[in-house]
C-alpha cells in the first residue's frame, strides 16, 4: 500500500497539503511486521529513480523507487527495511536522456555536515516540548500592541570556543544557554536567527538554501535546534527565522534542474534566473512548488514552534524585472512588471500562517514603495504582519554619517519617516547588511574623532529607540563593534574592556529596558495618536524633540536629542501639558560615557511659551545629549496629601472614596484634552 495516497496527490496538486513535511522525504514507518524507512520524492520528468545510501553501500541499483502508472503528479516511493535513522542517503535520478543526477532530498529533515552534500535520515517526532506557557501566551493579545526588540544573530559568529581544533562553533544547546542569558540581561524580547535552513556555502550566510526542511548540521541535530527554541521560549524570548523563498543556488546536489529539467524553477531563464546573484527563481505558478515552500514555512512555525519568519528579498519576488536589464525579463499577462503569481503566493501563505497560528508573524524585507505590504488581503494587501522600514534605515544612516556641521541641511532625513509611518506596520532595522562589504561598522560610520564617534552612535540609538516602530539591531552593534562583521570569526567581545565600548553597551541596555517598561513606546506604533512632534524644525541646532503617548494617557515619554557637539546650556523645550516631567534616562550619566549626570531629576513645566506651546521647562543640553522624561496626560492628584492627613486623623485605612473623589470629577476634562490632540 502506497504511503503517498490519492488524497495526498490531490492536495499537493492544489498547493493545500499543509502537512506535506510529514509525507515527503524520509520517515520511519512500519508496514506489516517490518519496520524501515519510507522515501517519497517528486520527480515527474525522471525516467527512473533509486535511493542510494549507507545501508546499501551506495549501490546504485539496490533500491529502485516505484512510480504508479496512475501517478500523474510524479511521486516516486520506496520502503526500505534496511535503512535506519541517522544514515546518509541521496536520490539517483536517471533522466529521460540517460544522464545520472545525484540529488539531496528536497524534503530531508537533516543533512550531512558540509562539504558533504548527502541527506540524513531523521526522526523529528521524538522531541518533548515544555514551552506550553509561551505558546499559550503567544495566542493572546494584539501583536502590534506588544513590545518587539529583536537581536539579529548569526549563530556561527556570535561567539566561538577558543582553542578548539575544529571551527569552535557553539552547538545549538550551548548557544541556547549563552544567548538566552545575554539577551535577557540586555532587554531584547526576540532573537532573529540567520542561516538556520541548511546551506552549503558559509559565505552566503544562509541565504542560498539547499535544505528548506532541515536545520543546518553545523550546530547539531534537529532535536538540538528544537531544544534551542524551547529553551528561549521558557525564558520568554521569541524566535524569528530568516526564510528565503526568493531564490535557490545552482549546486549540483540541490533543486536546480532537479529531475533533468527545470522543476522548482521557472522553465524560461528570463523568469527563472537572477543574473546578478547567479541563482534560480522558484516557479510560483506551479502548485507543487508553492506547496513545497508553504510546507517549509509551516514546519518551522508549527513543528519547531518558531514565532515568525522574516522573508528575505521580497522585492525580488514581486518584480519580474528585479535586477534585470531590458530584454532579460518577461512582462506579465497585462504587460506589467509585477509577478502576479508571487503576489498570490504571498497572499496565500501569509493568510495561512497567521490564520492557523495566532500570534505568529510574517515579516517582509521589502525595499521598495510597493503599497500595502502589511495591508489586508481583502483590501488588496499582501497580509504580512510587519515590513522592514528600509527607507528609514537609509535616511537615518545618511544623516548619521554626516559631519554635524552639515546635518542642519539634511534635517528632513530624520523627520521624513513620520510622514508615512501609518502606511505600514514597520520594524526599524539596523541589520547585518549595513555592516558588511566595506560599508563599515556602525561605529566607523560615525563622524568625528574617536570619542565623538561613540557619542554620535549613542544619540543615534536613542533616536531609534524613541521613534515609532518595532526595533532590530544586529549583533555587535550594541557594543560598538569596531570592525565589519565577518562570518568566519566571533564578535570582538574583547573590546568591552574599553570603557567607551562598555558605555555604549550599557546605554543600549538602558534603552532596551526603557522600551519594555513603557507602553507608550510600542502600543501605538502605527497610529498618529501615539506620537507628537514637539519641534521637528530646529534644523539650525540639529535638535529633535517629540512625545510618545500611551493609549490611556498615563504613560508618556518626552524625548530630546542634540545631534551636534555644541553644548546648549540655555536650551528650553516646549511641553504639551502643565505638569512635572521626570528625567528617566540621561545620556550624560558617566556609566554611559557621559559628561556627568544632571543632578536635577524632575522638571516642573513653567508658563513660558516655547516651541509654539504655552508651557516649557529649561534643560541644559550637553553635546550629543539625550534626555528622556516621563509624564502623564491625566491631571495630577493634588489632593493626595489631604487624603493622607485624613487617614492619620481618623486612624482608619485609606479607602478609595476620599482619594479618588476629586480626581474622578476631572476625568471628562482630561479626555477632552486627549481627544483634541488627536
Pick the catalytic residue from 224, 365, 586, 588: 365
Count of CB atoms situated within 10 Å of the CB of 48? 15
Environment class of residue 114 by beta-carbon count within 10 Å: exposed (0-12), middle (13-18) or buried (19+)?
A: middle
Q: How many other β-carbons are positioned within 10 Å of the β-carbon of residue 445?
A: 17
Chain-centre distance for alpha carbon 660: 44
Say how far apart CA 196 and CA 243 lie, in whole Å. Answer: 9
Q: How far apart are the first and last CA of the chain?
A: 66
403 is catalytic: no
Question: How is residue 285 annotated by DSSP?
Answer: T
Q: Which of 40, 152, 312, 424 is catalytic?
A: 312
Strands 88-94 and 119-120 come out as antiparallel
**265 backbone dihedrals φ, ψ, rounded to 5°:** -100, 160
The two beta strands, 602-604 and 556-562, are unpaired
Residue from 53, 42, 107, 118 nearest 76 by CA: 42
Q: Residue 316, exposed/middle/buried by CB under 10 A (0-12, 13-18, 19+)?
A: buried
H helix or E strand, kind and range, residue 672 = helix 656-677
CA pseudo-torsion sign 427, 431, 433, 435:
positive
Three-class secondary structure assignment of 431-490: CHHHHCCCCCCHHHHCCCCHHHHHHHHHHHHHHHHHCCCEEEEECCHHHCCCCCCCCCCC
Distance CA 157, CA 490 (A): 4
Distance CA 560, CA 466 (A): 10
Contacts of 484 (CB under 8 A, 6+ apart): 435, 436, 437, 438, 439, 440, 441
Q: CA-CA distance, 39 to 76, in Å (whole number)?
A: 8
Using N-to-C axis directions, what is the helix angle for 340-356 and 287-298, rounded to 10°? 30
CA distances, 89 to each of 79, 95, 171, 249, 593 (Å)? 14, 19, 24, 20, 57
Phi-psi region of 466 (alpha: psi -120 to 50; beta: other; left: phi over 0): alpha
Residue 129: which region, alpha, beta or left (left: phi > 0; alpha: psi -120 to 50)? beta
**Partners of 38 in the β-ladder:** 27, 79
* Strand 273-274 with 308-311, pairing: unpaired
Instruction: Tell me phi and psi for residue 282, to 5 degrees.
Output: -60, 145
Q: What single string gives the DSSP state of each residue in 22-65?
A: GTSEEEEEEETTEEEEEEEEE-TT-SEEEEEEGGGTT-TTSSB-
Q: Are 111 and 211 in contact (CB under 8 A)?
A: yes
Q: How far apart are CA 116 and CA 653, in angstroms?
A: 75
Burial class of residue 584 (count of CB atoms within 10 Å of its CB; 0-12, 13-18, 19+): middle
d(CA 228, CA 173): 6
d(CA 412, CA 17): 49
The sign of the CA dihedral 561, 565, 566, 569 is positive
Q: Is 251 among the residues known to form the active site?
A: no
Q: Which residues are catalytic?
A: 312, 365
Amino acid at each position: 500500500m502506497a504511503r503517498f495516497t490519492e488524497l495526498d496527490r490531490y492536495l499537493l496538486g492544489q498547493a493545500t497539503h499543509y502537512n506535506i513535511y510529514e509525507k515527503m522525504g524520509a520517515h520511519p514507518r512500519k508496514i506489516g511486521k517490518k519496520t524501515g524507512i519510507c522515501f517519497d520524492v517528486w520527480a515527474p520528468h525522471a525516467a527512473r529513480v533509486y535511493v542510494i545510501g549507507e545501508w546499501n553501500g551506495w549501490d546504485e541499483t539496490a533500491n529502485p523507487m516505484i512510480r504508479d502508472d496512475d501517478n500523474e503528479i510524479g511521486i516516486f516511493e520506496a520502503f526500505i527495511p534496511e535503512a535506519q535513522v541517522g544514515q546518509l542517503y541521496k536520490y539517483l535520478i536517471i533522466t529521460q536522456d540517460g544522464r545520472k543526477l545525484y540529488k539531496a532530498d528536497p524534503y530531508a529533515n537533516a543533512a550531512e555536515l558540509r562539504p558533504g552534500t548527502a541527506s540524513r535520515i531523521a526522526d523529528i517526532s521524538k522531541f518533548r516540548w515544555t514551552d506550553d506557557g509561551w505558546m499559550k501566551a503567544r495566542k493572546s493579545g494584539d501583536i502590534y500592541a506588544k513590545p518587539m526588540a529583536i537581536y539579529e544573530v548569526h549563530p556561527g559568529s556570535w561567539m566561538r570556543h577558543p582553542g578548539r581544533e575544529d571551527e569552535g562553533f557553539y552547538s545549538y544547546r550551548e548557544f541556547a544557554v549563552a544567548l538566552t542569558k545575554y539577551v535577557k540581561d540586555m532587554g531584547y524580547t526576540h532573537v532573529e536567527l540567520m542561516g538556520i535552513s541548511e546551506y552549503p556555502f558559509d559565505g552566503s550566510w544562509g541565504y542560498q538554501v539547499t535544505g528548506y526542511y532541515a536545520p543546518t548540521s553545523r550546530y547539531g541535530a534537529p532535536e538540538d535546534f528544537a531544544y534551542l527554541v524551547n529553551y528561549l521560549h521558557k525564558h520568554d524570548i521569541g524566535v524569528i527565522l530568516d526564510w528565503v523563498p526568493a531564490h535557490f543556488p545552482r549546486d549540483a546536489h540541490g533543486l536546480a534542474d532537479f529531475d533533468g529539467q527545470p522543476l522548482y524553477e521557472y522553465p524560461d531563464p528570463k523568469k527563472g534566473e537572477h543574473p546578478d546573484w547567479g541563482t534560480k527563481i522558484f516557479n510560483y505558478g506551479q502548485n507543487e512548488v508553492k506547496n513545497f515552500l508553504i510546507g517549509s514555512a509551516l514546519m518551522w512555525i508549527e513543528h519547531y514552534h518558531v514565532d515568525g519568519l522574516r522573508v528575505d528579498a521580497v522585492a525580488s519576488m514581486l518584480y519580474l524585472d528585479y535586477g534585470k536589464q531590458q530584454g532579460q525579463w518577461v512582462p506579465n499577462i497585462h504587460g506589467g512588471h509585477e509577478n502576479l503569481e508571487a503576489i498570490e503566493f504571498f497572499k496565500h501563505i501569509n493568510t495561512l500562517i497567521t490564520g492557523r497560528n495566532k500570534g505568529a508573524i510574517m515579516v517582509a524585507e521589502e525595499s521598495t514603495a510597493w503599497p500595502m505590504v502589511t495591508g489586508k488581503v481583502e483590501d488588496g494587501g499582501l497580509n504580512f504582519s510587519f515590513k522592514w522600514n528600509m527607507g528609514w534605515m537609509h535616511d537615518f544612516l545618511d544623516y548619521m554619517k554626516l559631519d554635524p556641521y552639515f546635518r542642519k541641511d539634511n534635517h528632513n532625513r530624520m523627520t521624513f519617516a513620520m510622514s508615512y509611518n501609518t502606511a505600514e506596520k514597520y520594524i526599524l532595522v539596523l541589520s547585518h547588511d549595513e555592516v558588511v562589504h566595506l560599508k563599515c561598522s556602525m561605529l566607523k560610520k560615525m563622524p568625528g574623532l574617536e570619542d565623538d564617534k561613540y557619542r554620535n552612535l549613542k544619540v543615534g540609538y536613542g533616536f531609534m529607540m524613541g521613534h515609532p516602530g518595532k526595533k532590530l539591531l544586529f549583533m555587535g552593534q550594541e557594543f560598538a563593534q569596531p570592525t565589519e562583521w565577518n562570518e568566519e570569526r566571533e564578535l570582538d567581545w574583547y573590546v568591552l574592556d574599553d570603557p567607551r565600548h562598555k558605555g555604549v553597551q550599557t546605554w543600549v541596555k538602558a534603552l532596551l529596558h526603557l522600551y519594555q517598561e513603557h507602553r507608550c513606546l510600542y502600543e501605538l506604533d502605527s497610529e498618529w495618536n501615539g506620537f507628537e512632534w514637539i519641534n521637528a524644525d530646529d534644523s539650525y541646532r540639529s535638535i529633535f524633540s517629540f512625545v510618545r503617548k500611551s493609549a490611556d494617557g498615563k504613560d508618556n515619554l518626552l524625548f530630546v536629542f542634540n545631534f551636534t557637539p555644541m553644548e546648549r546650556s540655555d536650551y528650553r523645550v516646549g511641553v504639551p501639558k502643565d505638569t512635572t516631567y521626570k528625567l528617566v534616562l540621561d545620556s550624560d550619566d558617566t556609566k554611559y560615557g557621559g559628561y556627568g549626570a544632571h543632578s536635577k531629576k524632575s522638571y516642573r513645566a513653567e508658563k513660558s511659551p516655547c516651541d509654539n506651546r504655552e508651557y516649557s521647562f529649561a534643560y541644559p543640553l550637553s553635546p550629543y545629549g539625550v534626555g528622556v522624561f516621563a509624564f502623564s496626560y491625566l491631571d495630577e492628584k493634588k489632593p493626595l496629601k489631604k487624603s493622607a492627613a485624613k487617614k492619620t486623623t481618623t486612624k482608619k485605612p485609606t479607602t478609595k472614596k476620599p482619594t479618588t473623589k476629586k480626581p474622578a470629577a476631572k476625568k471628562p476634562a482630561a479626555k477632552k484634552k486627549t481627544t483634541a490632540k488627536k
